[in-house]
Amino acid sequence: MKVLKFGGTSVGSPENMRAVMDLVTDGEKKIVVLSAMSGTTNALVEISSYLHKKNKDTALIFIGKLEQNYKQVVDELFTSDENKKKGLQVVQEAFDTIKSFTSGAFNLVGENTILAQGEIISTNLVTLLMNENGYNTKLLPALDFMKIDEDKAADLVFIRQNIASVMETVGDADYYITQGFICRDAENEINNLQRGGSDYTASLIGAAIDADEIQIWTDIDGFHNNDPRYVENTKKIDQLSFNEAAELAFFGAKILHPQTVLPARVQNIPVRLKNTMNPTDSGTLITLESDGMGIKAVAAKDGITAIKIRSGRMLNAYGFLSKVFKIFEDFRTPIDMISTSEVAVSLTIDDTRNLDSIKEELANFGTVIIDQDMTIVCIVGDIIQEEQGFAPKVFKALDGIPIRMISYGGSKHNISVLVPTDCKKQTLQSLSDNLLNG
């Protein structure tokens, strides 16, 4: 059985929903993971923000507009009056849930419950659509099997056990539809896997059922060797290893959620990236094996803050770095890049919520310098095994670009450089000209 995920654009209109139905109904059993219709999650975030501010009247205006949009979708999506009525009932139940939070106190549990309604609506409507067209389709409620633990990590054991139970409960079907993104947490409250989490849902389900293949359907043909928003003449990559794909996803390639690769890699399940607008294209296949040495692609991650701690106490000392890293651990702030010398350590973070407190603690160890508005540019491939002289090619391509940090050797799949964000486009273009298309 395959697991197929379709994002918000793929189910963003009645026409696109029908296209998804046509793509999945090929006679092979599968689980289909759906996001909310495009724009819905942003609208629900905005509604939640007004409720946090206790601005009930404005929230209700936005709720009313979104509800009317969905009623129009239902009218266009279904043929029979009976199914139009069922579709309106789906919409009504979801918006009754949303409106229930417009009175009284509003907290994070309420926000997460509101955000979940987008996926609940889209999956119910597509399930109803497929049944209207004669396809044996059942809904698998993700909130009955998708769970994260107290550290917000996916509870794969729970997922594996409970998805089988839910499938047995709903009965045999040719096509199962379920929600991406949403889950329950360790307290059994509604939560989510963060933005882009539908990819992760698909990978977790694929690992839980030992799928033959996990397919992530988006609106582009697969991984490109550079960011087409900033660089012209990028090319699709036919095949990547799990490690290469993980590096690209983590360091900014928007096509894939960064956590998607791990469950598939552990179970050795191929992941294929496909384009709903061009379904005959083979896309990008991700497996254990790379298709050769050398650079494959470049990606960039914005919103990076560099922190430099300079201290004479580092010289010939032990335990200094562990004390520094303990501060980031205490504030639950992940570190992306690290570079050290005898008297200084530089590192980067992308979560600045506790930056002031972190800086205050680090000041106990030495002089702290903060650089914001930085970008990590990641050069990915099977690069360490390449012929001698590969690194000089990279650094020659970066000639003239102000580099703040370099990370090289920690992985054979990645050379990362930190540059000011206003130099990102120049950096990507230079790497493309000199390494990818040269």
Residue 383 has pLDDT above 70, yes or no: no
Where is average pLDDT lowest: 7-11, 83-87, 154-158, 385-389? 385-389
Q: Residues 29, 166: one domain?
A: yes
Pick the range with the lowest mean pLDDT from 27-36, 117-126, 383-392. 383-392
Q: Looking at the domain assignment, is residue 92 inside a domain?
A: yes
Percent of the chain exceeding pLDDT 90 equals 70
pLDDT for the residue numbered 312: 73
Q: What is the residue range of 366's domain?
A: 296-436
What is the helix (H) or strand (E) element at residue 241, kind and residue range? Answer: strand 239-241
Place of tokens 């949403």: 182
Among 189, 219, 249, the domain-final residue is: 219
pLDDT at 384 over 80: no
- Look at the chain and report how many structural domains it folds into: 2
Domain boundary among 219, 253, 269: 219
Tell me, yes or no, whether 271 lies in a domain. Answer: no
What rounded mean pLDDT belongs to the chain? 91
Residue 95: CATH number of its domain:
3.40.1160.10
**Residue in the block written with tokens 């929600």:** 179
Query: What tokens does 303 get?
Result: 């919103």
The set of residues, in sequence order, having a beta carbon less than 8 Å from that of 188 and lying 6+ positions away, is none
| Residue 267 falls inside a structural domain | no
User: According to the model, what pLDDT value does residue 254 have?
Assistant: 67
164-216 residue pLDDT tens: 999 999 999 999 999 999 999 999 999 999 877 899 999 999 999 999 999 99
> CATH number for the domain including 348?
3.30.2130.10
Nearest to 193 by CA among 241, 242, 143: 143
- pLDDT confidence of 97, banded at 50, 70, 90? very high
HEC readout, 40-56: HHHHHHHHHHHHHCCCH
Q: Of the ranges 24-38, 219-233, 296-310, which one carries the lowest mean pLDDT score?
A: 219-233
Mean pLDDT, rounded, for 249-269: 83
Q: Does any domain span residue 46?
A: yes
Looking at residue 409, its pLDDT comes to 65
214 and 346, same domain (yes or no):
no
CA-based Rg of the chain, rounded to a whole angstrom?
A: 24
Same domain, 206 and 328: no
Q: Do 303 and 156 fall into the same domain?
A: no
Q: What is the mean pLDDT of residues 94-122?
A: 95
Average pLDDT over residues 375-390: 73
215 and 312 in one domain?
Answer: no
Q: Is residue 283 part of a domain?
A: no
Asked if residue 337 and residue 213 are part of one domain, the reply reads no
For residue 90, what are its two tokens? Answer: 């789906």
232 vs 134, residue with greater confidence: 134
CB 113 within 8 A of CB 190: yes
- pTM for the model stands at 0.87
| Shared domain check, 342 and 195 | no
Domain final residue pick, 159, 189, 219 = 219
Q: Residue 292 pLDDT > 70, yes or no?
A: no
Whether residues 69 and 191 share a domain: the answer is yes
* Burial annotation 101-137 (CB, 10 A radius, 16+ → b, else e): bbeeebeeebbbbbbbbbbbbbbbbbbbbbbbeebeb
32: exposed, middle or buried (Cβ count in 10 Å: 0-12, 13-18, 19+): buried
Amino acid 88: pLDDT: 98
State both tokens at 132. Answer: 């209207």
Tell whether 302 and 199 lie within a shared domain: no
Q: What is the pLDDT of residue 313?
A: 66
Distance, CA of 6 to CA of 271 (rounded, Å): 14
Q: What is the pLDDT of residue 163?
A: 97
Q: Work out the number of other CB atoms within 10 angstroms of the CB of residue 195.
A: 11
Query: Is the pLDDT assigned to residue 386 strictly greater than 60?
Result: no
Residue 152 pLDDT level (bands cut at 50, 70, 90)? confident
Q: Which 8-state DSSP code applies to residue 89?
A: H
pLDDT of 295 > 90? The answer is no
Measure the CA dihedral 221/224/299/16, to 10°: -10
Determine, yes or no, domain membership for 279: no
Mind listing the pLDDT tens digit for each residue in 310-350?
Answer: 987 666 667 788 889 999 999 999 998 998 887 889 999 99
Residue 14 within any structural domain of the chain: yes
User: In terms of domains, do 316 and 206 share one?
Assistant: no
| 240 found inside a domain | no
175 and 304 together in one domain: no
Q: 3-state DSSP call for residue 298?
A: strand
Do residue 178 and residue 322 come from a single domain? no
